[in-house]
Amino acid sequence: MRLSLASAVATFCVALVLYPLLNGGGWFWGSLGAVLVVLGAGALSGRLALPAWAATLVSLVATLLYLTAVFTGTKAWALVVPTKESVLALGKLLATGWADIQRFAAPVPANAGVSLLTTAGVALIAITVDLLAARLRRTAVAGLPLLALIAVPATILPDPMSWPAFILAALGFVALLIADGRERISRWGRAVLVRRTRNATGGPRETTDTRGLRLSGKRIGFAAIALAILVPALLPSMEPVSWFTFGVGGSGKGGKGNSISIPDPVVALKGQLTLPEKRTVLTYANNDNQPRYLKIYSLNLFNGDRFELEPPRGAPENRVENGPLPRAPGLGESIPVTAVTTRIRISEEVERLAFLPLPYPPSVVRAEGDWRADVESLMVFSTREDASGMEYEVVSTEPAPKPEQLDASPPVQRTEANERLLRLPEDLPEEIRELADKITAKAETPYQKAVRIQEHFRDSRNGYTYSLQTQGQSADALLDFLIYSKTGYCEQYAAAMAVLARAAGIPARVAIGYTGGTKVDDGFAVATSDMHAWPELYFEGIGWLAFEPTPTANAPLGQGTARVPPYSLPQVQDSGDESAGTATGTPGSGEVPTGGTSRSRNIRELEEDRLAGLGGVPVEESVSPVLGIGIGVLVLLLLLLVPAGVRLVTRSRRVRSLGWKVSGPQDDVTARAARVSVPVAAAWAELDDVLDDYGMARQPSETPRALARRLTEQQEFDAGTAAAISALSQAVERVLFARDPGEVGPLGKELKLVRRALARTVSRRTRLRAALLPPSTMRRLRRLGEGLLDGFDRLETIRLRRSTRTQAPSGSEGTRKELVSK
Amino acid sequence: MAVTHDVTPDNPPRLEELVPTAHRIREAIESVIEGKSEAVRITVTVLLAEGHLLIEDVPGVGKTMLAKALARSIDCPVRRVQFTPDLLPSDITGVSAYNQQTREFEFKPGPVFANIVVGDEINRASPKTQSALLECMEERQVTVDGVTYELEAPFMVIATQNPIEMEGTYPLPEAQRDRFTARIAMGYPEPTAELEMLDVHGSTSPLDKLQPVATADEVRALIRAVRGVYVSQAVKKYAIDLVVATRHSPDLRLGASPRSTLQLIRSARAHAALSGRDYVIPDDLQDLAVPVLAHRLLPSVEAHGQRRLPEQVIAELVRRVPVPETRSR
């Protein structure tokens, strides 16, 4: 029974790690119920002494009844007995749940289907654990199903598992192991000790042995958990350094999850832009030989700090192989479009890319595998495939609106559908709104507003500077970029323009992908340094149009291969020479835009030029992995030095107290003794620690005098040292044991003499260890740890007595664990 | 490091002046017994601790010589009793004899009425006679025919006995061995000491030349001074720890009695005084643990089977029991 209980608790503890995968609490209560049902079934089979296979059968049947009752109770006979209808309903619900899990990214909404799936899974795990641990007595193997359960969130979620959840799960398993150990020992019966002496009423030796045996398992368990938590936290990250990972959870081949996690495109962007080496990400060729931006992500959501990716939705019927993609949102029939066929080949070096880089708006994508389109954003993604090394073809329908069509686009009405594309947080700094109003004051149409906002960034009089030194991502940083520092890179430019556009009433989002890249023989090569963010603005009747506020290569600094779309330039050039320069430097409609090598230089080269010119303005991008490891090692070293530091502090404290002047004799013997005892005690403790450090620790039964004798003989002290140590020992003796300690001079000199003499006798290694990892301090630390463990043990014994009566597990985790360890 | 100092009100005699006397006695004995300074030291310690001494060893190693040397070096009445199986209790304590002239019973004091009584081969006497002597030792008085006679201080019995394996002996029961403060073994002399003994003792007995070096009064003053030696609480606790350890040791069937704690502390005082200290340190207890405790203990069957003597058990306990805590925690 104890083992069944422990199995149930362990399963439930581990099931809690599913928490971040699911939205809502239905699955939680469902799983708890399932665990309890399995526990009850196990208890019943235990009472009836059924064989293992029958017990498993009973548990399975009980689980079925439970699931029927909870999920399809209305169709069942008397709520629990499954009927044909209820079984069919259960199956249907399971299919729905399965489809939901396929469709949604984590966290999945815990509707009935998903809850059923989760509950059934937890119940199956509970049955397996119960079978292994309680029936077959293979407790260690029972860890495997638990591990499988814990592996689900660990593989699906990009974030590491939160450590409290891990501790809880590990404690559950440890509790299971402890219960098993106790069960085994209790079968042997109590250890019988032959008492040899009449009057030995529990000598200390007899009792500690069994206690230690019982405690050691628990201690090892706790220590292992603590180490598992602490060591990875202290070590520098050991993740394989891939050149450009997208951090996208697509799971790759053999992954089990069908969901996709939300990547952090912004982080990927920054990571690729700051790579020390430029790598080719993809190459492409198209039929009109024009460079085009290739979009990977559309960040729709602005949370006040930054733009974020909405979980993409891709139903099976939206597979790209099923035919053309839906028409781009908002693209009116009257707008002329240019159909472009682009053939793209992704480099093998790319890792974990679950979204296809595509020119916007794609209409036909010919790619192998299960690629699905998100209907709204036209992102193409996969939960199973990895774009690495892929080659695919895409036909895009690029809108080419005429100027009058652009101007004719009416302001967007705020509706429920586009509300989130216009949403700005309530606490957006007022300055930003004011800035947006100021910029767009003279503009009449949304399109003109957009052009003016882009001009605001590109106009060199406004003083925006390109630099990869980021400001972080927050409302403050945005304000800082827009108003104060005006320094950032494409991400800041894109986000800032999108926010200003939203403030001006234009739906806006941030696109992340690659610029057109550099011209090579028969197409274009796109490198890591070409990764880019740009704003996309929505115009009624035209759809999403890309803008380019980031400085391009012809500006003093800028994204090398970025280019400004022709429609986004002001049609009336009224802003002076600078913008004219920009306009002329920008490729027009048809010419080869970035063919010149000087134009397409890597941003880093530009940075270096600038550094050379300015005489070394530090442009720090981010912490490189080497630096990270270095910091980690440094922290580790510092941690290792802690014992030495503690030792030094202790020593100096003692030496200070040694220096206290002991004034002349007083009548009051006790007062004098108390005064004298402080420095003597300090000297003695210091000597003790020094001996400990040098590996010649004083035996507990060794008196001061005996110690002095031993050291003098063993270490062959010269006369001076021998006198010093004997003076020390006699002072201690007098302070401790004499009625009147008498006069005790300062002992600092003697102590130093002895310490030097001792240091001479030991090997260099011992000396080094004494300095770096002094055993005396380690001993104290160990004792501290033991005290802590003892405290835990005592805590437990207190609880045990109370919990003997409450056998039924309650909902709270704490009381459940007590029961197990009972 | 908690230190408690309780100051005794009575002012004991100046130890410094008396210690030389003790050393004179030691030197006098050592002039007779070559190379046995440890045994001699314990002998003097027991004298100053107002205890009794049991010397146990094979015949001919100088047990009687030690006892006699001690007796001679102090100018006080000394009696020697050779125990034999036919010795009667009255041969020890004395008898009331009828005086025909006075027509009264008159008490004739036995050999126990002396400051130092040397009981040779005590284990050869019958248990009845042994217990007569042991009663005197404990109570320091003799009761004959309803009259109690006090014995004069200092009163010290030095008993010698052959190891119990020898034939024709009545080994002392545990309860009676407990009355002796200490037991020492003489051991065979070192070859050099033995050679010297041949050279010196060949012609004359060194005992003949031995003159008393101290008076009974001086010894009494010394004993009073020893009583005033300071024992700190920590040391008392250490003594108790040691004794308690013997009671819990699985190697021992019988641990040490509370009386032995008392005698351990007393002899530790004397030991400290002999070293010229007016306070007891744990070393005193460690030095004395074997002679003071070992003869009171009975080894367990297992320890006996492994030929582990109580002496070894005690020595091991001394190595294991922590001394009064001197570490600062």
Q: Tell me, yes or no, if A699 comes closer than 8 A to chain B by beta carbon.
A: yes
pLDDT tens digits along A427-461: 788 888 888 888 888 888 888 888 888 888 887 77
| DSSP output for A31-54 | HHHHHHHHHHHHHHHHHHT--HHH
Q: Looking at beta carbons, which residues of chain B come within 8 Å of A685?
A: 327-328
Mutation to test the B interface, candidates A193, A194, A197, A740, most B Cβ within 10 Å: A197
Residue B46's pLDDT is what?
Answer: 92
Most confident of A103-117, A162-176, A224-238: A162-176
Residues of A in Cβ contact (< 8 Å) with B6: 739
* pLDDT above 70 (res A204): no
What is the enclosing helix (H) or strand (E) of A283? strand A280-286
Are B232 and A674 in contact (CB < 8 Å)? no
Of A199, A705, A739, the CB nearest to B279: A739
Q: Which residues of B touch A702 (CB under 8 A)?
A: 323
Task: Provide the number of CB pairs (under 8 Å) joining chain A to chain B.
Answer: 99
A675: closest chain B residue by CA: B3
Q: Which residue among A196, A738, A739 sits closest to B250, beta carbon to beta carbon?
A: A196
What ipTM was estimated for this complex? 0.81
Which A-chain residues 180-199 have CB contacts (< 8 A) with chain B? Answer: 196-199
Phi, psi of A365 (to 5 degrees): -125, 125
**In whole angstroms, what is the distance from residue B220 CA to residue B204 CA?**
32
Contact list in A for residue B7 (CB cut-off 8 A) is 669, 739
In chain B, the residue whose alpha carbon lies closest to the alpha carbon of A204 is: B248
Name the pLDDT band for A672 (thresholds 50, 70, 90): low
Comparing alpha-carbon positions, the chain A residue that sits nearest to B319 is A701
Query: How many CB atoms within 10 Å of residue B206?
Result: 15
Distance CA A751, CA A690 (A): 10
**CATH architecture of structural domain B12-227:** 3-Layer(aba) Sandwich (3.40)
- What is the model's pLDDT at position A264? 64
CB neighbours (10 Å) of residue A441? 9
- Please say if the pLDDT value at position A597 is more than 60: no
Position A5: which residue type? L
The shortest CB-CB distance from B324 to any of A199, A736, A739 is to A736
d(CA A73, CA A423): 43
CATH number of B229-324: 1.10.8.80
Interior angle at CA A84, CA A80 and CA A86, nearest 5: 45
Between chains, do B323 and A702 touch, taking CB under 8 Å as contact? Answer: yes
CA distance A182 to chain B (A): 29
Name the DSSP letter for residue A468.
Answer: S
The Cα–Cα gap between B280 and B275 comes to 10
Residue A682 or A793, more confident: A682
Chain A hits for B280, Cβ within 8 Å: 737
Task: List CB contacts (< 8 A) between A736 and chain B.
Answer: 1, 3, 232, 234, 281, 324, 326
- Choose the most confident range, by mean pLDDT, from A254-268, A531-545, A606-620: A531-545
Place of tokens 């501290």: A784
Burial of B43 (0-12, 13-18, 19+ CB in 10 A): buried
Q: Cα–Cα distance between B300 and B298 in angstroms, integer?
A: 6
Q: Find the residue in A nearest to B328 (Cα).
A: A685
Matching residue, tokens 């408690």:
B4
Is A739 an 8 Å CB contact of chain B?
yes
According to the 3-state scheme, what is the secondary structure of A616-662? CCCCCCCCCHHHHHHHHHHHHHHHHHHHHHHHHHHHHHHHHHHCCCC
- The reply to whether B229-324 shares the fold of B12-227 is no
Confidence of residue B243 (pLDDT cuts 50, 70, 90): very high
Antiparallel, parallel or unpaired: β B94-99 and B156-161: unpaired
With CB atoms and an 8 Å threshold, state whether A703 touches B286: yes
Residue located via tokens 């495997």: A144
**Minimal CA separation from B236 to chain A, in Å:** 10
Is the model's pLDDT at A573 over the cut of 90?
Answer: no
Q: Distance, in angstroms, between B216 CA and closest chain A CA? A: 29
Select from A200, A203, A703 the Cβ nearest to the Cβ of B282: A703
> What average pLDDT does this structure show over A400-417?
80
Question: Would the pLDDT of A703 be above 80?
Answer: yes
pTM for the model = 0.50
**Length of chain A, please?**
822
A744-768 pLDDT, tens per residue? Answer: 777 778 888 888 888 888 888 888 8
Of A196, A200, A706, the CB nearest to B283: A706
Residues 644-673 of A with CB under 8 A from B: 669-670, 673
Residues of chain B in contact with residue A200, where contact means CB-CB under 8 angstroms, are 247-250
- B75/B15: higher pLDDT: B75
Q: For chain B, which residues make up each domain, given as ranges? A: 12-227, 229-324
Tell me the residues of B at the A interface, defined by beta carbons under 8 Å apart: 1, 3, 5-7, 230, 232, 234-235, 247-250, 252-253, 255, 277-283, 286, 300, 302, 318-324, 326-328
Judge whether B243 and B260 are in contact, CB under 8 Å.
yes
Minimum CA–CA partner of B230 in chain A: A739
- Asked whether the beta carbons of residue A681 and residue B248 sit closer than 8 angstroms, the reply is no
pLDDT of residue A554: 55
Per residue in B202-237, pLDDT (tens digit) is 677 777 778 888 888 888 888 888 888 999 888 999
pLDDT tens digits, one per residue of B270-280: 999 888 888 99
Q: How far is residue A504's CA from residue A434's CA, in Å, rounded to a whole number?
A: 10
Q: Which two tokens stand for residue A591?
A: 């010419």
Nearest CA in chain A to B241: A701
Taking CB atoms and an 8 Å cutoff, what residues of chain B touch A677?
1, 3
Name every residue whose Cβ is closer than 8 Å to that of residue A679 and which is 6 or more positions away in sequence: A657, A658, A659, A660, A662, A744, A746, A747
The class (CATH top level) of A405-507+549-614 is alpha beta
Whose tokens are 């000396």? That residue is A767
Domains of chain A by residue range = 2-190, 405-507+549-614, 630-773, 782-821
B327 and A688 within 8 Å at the Cβ level: the answer is yes
pLDDT of residue A562: 74
Q: Residue A533: name the closest of A553, A547, A521 by CA.
A: A547
Say which of A701, A736, A738 has its CB closest to residue B1.
A736
**In terms of Cα–Cα distance, which of A266, A510, A302 is closest to A425?**
A302
DSSP strands (E only) in A508-606: 508-514, 518-520, 523-527, 531-539, 543-546
As beta bridge partners, residue A396 has A340, A362
User: What is the least distance, in Å, from the CA of B38 to any CA of chain A?
Assistant: 17
State whether B320 and A199 contact (CB < 8 Å): no
The pLDDT of residue A146 is above 80: yes
